[in-house]
């Protein structure tokens, strides 16, 4: 009986260890839509900085421009990021905010291209990250710097092959901004993993492993696989 219990314990330990190892290359993508002109955003900006430190999370901050009229023009905002958020709004799952908000709002966190959450609501954000982390690996991304270029290897995981967009986000890992006007006037706020450029780098059908060379990508960057341009996220990876 003791030997049986010992074997069960060893097996459980192995499942735990190797299950975690299986997720190591496929962290969960967390996208925050924020604005320097939004007084309720700083707690979400802080939370994103904490999430960016986790090995099981890839964190991105998109600054939107639709609050610029309040008196402060966000120094990172781009219309394309506001459009990305609008593209999400028609299909993300809003059950976790009880569907109280329907259109674009800040701060909004979208987890794995699927769940819309209040960006400062740490407990539910953490729970949804853990839920997605427990899902089977559909793909894995391995990044390697080589001579000023970024070599991206896409590795097929479990499940059926699917057509995906290979997205490249160039980022600034950390920057302090002193805000002079608007709702946050007089505050200096630290922003993390701020997206400066988002582009479609290629397509992948998921039928076999594939390697892409992204020329001239030699700074901090994130690569992720997404169904369509605003569908569920399949995998994500960040440069060291």
Q: Using the predicted structure, report yes or no on whether residue 2 has a pLDDT greater than 60.
A: no
| 1 pLDDT more than 70 | no
Specify the pLDDT at position 3: 36
What pLDDT was estimated at residue 208? 94
Global pTM exceeds 0.85 = yes
pLDDT of residue 7: 34
pLDDT computed for residue 158 by the predictor: 83
Say whether the peptide bond before residue 132 is cis (omega within 30 degrees of 0): no
Tokens describing residue 181: 């006007």
pLDDT of residue 5: 36
Asked whether residue 11 carries a pLDDT value surpassing 90, the answer given is: no
* Displacement of CA 83 from its chain's centroid (Å): 17
What's the average model confidence in pLDDT over 12-18?
Answer: 33
Residue with tokens 């986790």: 54
> Looking at the predicted structure, is the pLDDT value of residue 10 above 50?
no
Question: What average pLDDT score do residues 67-80 get?
Answer: 96
Which residue from 138, 174, 135, 133 is spatially nearest to 157, judged by alpha carbons? 138
Domain residue extents for the chain: 2-238
On the question of pLDDT at 168 being above 80, the answer is yes
CA distance 51 to 47: 6
Spatial distance between the Cα atoms of 225 and 7, rounded to a whole number of angstroms:
39
Provide the angle, in degrees to the nearest 10, between the axes of the packed helices 42-52 and 122-133: 30
Tokens encoding 160 = 């059926």
Query: Cα–Cα distance between 200 and 212 in angstroms, integer?
Result: 12
CA 151 to chain CA centroid, nearest Å: 20
Place of tokens 């190797």: 18
86 pLDDT higher than 60: yes
DSSP 3-state percent helix, strand, coil across the chain (nearest 5)? 25, 35, 40
Kindly report, residue by residue over 87-143, the tens digit of the pLDDT.
999 899 999 987 666 779 999 999 999 999 999 999 999 999 999 999 999 999 999
Average of per-residue pLDDT values in the chain = 89
């Amino acid at each position: 009986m003791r030997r049986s219990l010992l074997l069960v314990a060893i097996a459980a330990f192995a499942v735990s260890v190797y299950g975690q190892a299986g997720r190591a290359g496929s962290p969960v993508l967390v996208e925050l839509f924020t604005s320097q002109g939004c007084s309720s955003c700083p707690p979400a900006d802080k939370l994103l900085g904490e999430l960016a430190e986790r090995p099981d999370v890839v964190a991105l901050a998109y600054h939107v421009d639709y609050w610029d009229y309040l008196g402060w023009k966000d120094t990172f905002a781009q219309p394309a990021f506001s459009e990305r958020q609008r593209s999400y709004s028609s299909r993300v799952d809003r059950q976790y905010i009880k569907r109280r908000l329907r259109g674009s709002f800040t701060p909004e966190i979208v987890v794995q291209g699927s769940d819309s959450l209040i960006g400062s609501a740490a407990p539910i954000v953490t729970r949804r990250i853990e839920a997605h982390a427990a899902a089977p690996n559909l793909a894995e991304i391995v990044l390697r710097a080589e001579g000023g270029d970024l070599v991206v290897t896409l590795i097929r995981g479990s499940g059926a092959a699917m057509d995906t967009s290979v997205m490249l986000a160039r980022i600034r890992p950390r920057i302090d901004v002193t805000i002079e006007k608007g709702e946050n006037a007089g505050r200096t706020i630290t922003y993390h993993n701020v997206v400066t450029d988002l582009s479609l780098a290629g397509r992948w059908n998921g039928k076999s492993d594939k390697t892409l060379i992204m020329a001239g990508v030699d700074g901090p960057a994130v690569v992720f696989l997404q169904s369509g341009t605003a569908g569920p996220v399949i995998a994500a990876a960040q440069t060291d």
